[in-house]
Amino acid sequence: MIITGSISCKTRGECDIVDITSQVARQVAESGISSGTVTVFVPGSTAGVTTIEYESGLVADLQRLWERIVPRDAHYDHNSRWGDGNGHSHIRASILGPSLVVPFAEGRLTLGTWQQIILVDFDNRPRSRQAVLQIMGE
């Protein structure tokens, strides 16, 4: 069986990191599917999905990492073409990637104890995001 759902969150932009683990876990538990995989996919070219130990130190570390490897004030041709000033946001999102697959068994995600699913919004303004969840299994 395949069930496609979604989760919504509001973000503040510029590397805002949102823990979406409980929303994903709830939809998997409520799907009635015992074992399989859930794909978490964020539509849009300025956000990404990954996992982290969601504690404030690491969240800040990850936010700072992006400024080191893809600085906001570097030159981006995209900013000349579109004027939206978010060239860095697009590049960061491309590196991180838009999706994650998590296996589940007996209705529970197989995440580690200190591993949470996060949506990272790289855009340079607040956004309303709707991530797609596709739950596949039997």
Q: Which one, 15 or 102, has the nearer CB to Zn ion?
A: 15
Q: Which one, 19 or 84, has the nearer CB to Zn ion?
A: 84
Q: With contact defined as beta carbons under 8 Å apart, do 104 and 35 qualify?
A: yes
The tokens of 105 are what? 């068994």
Strand partners, 135: 3, 38
Q: Which residue type does 107 have?
A: G
Total chain residues near Zn ion (CB under 5 A): 2
Residue 72 in the binding site for Zn ion (CB under 5 A): no
**Which range in 24-32, 49-57, 86-94, 97-105 contacts Zn ion by CB under 5 A?**
86-94
Contacting Zn ion (CB under 5 A), which of 76, 86, 98, 116? 86
**Which range in 22-30, 76-84, 97-105, 115-123 contacts Zn ion by CB under 5 A?**
76-84
Q: Which one, 31 or 86, has the nearer CB to Zn ion?
A: 86
The tokens of 133 are what? 């969840």
Label residues 59-88 b or e (16+ Cβ within 10 Å = b).
beebeeebeeebebeeebebeeeeeeebbb
Q: Which one, 36 or 87, has the nearer CB to Zn ion?
A: 87
Residue 21 in the binding site for Zn ion (CB under 5 A): no
Residue 84 in the binding site for Zn ion (CB under 5 A): yes
Beta-carbon-side half-sphere exposure of residue 96 (alpha carbons within 13 Å): 33
Q: Which residue type does 99 have?
A: S
In three-state secondary structure terms, 15 is: coil
Residues within the interface to Zn ion (CB under 5 A): 84, 86
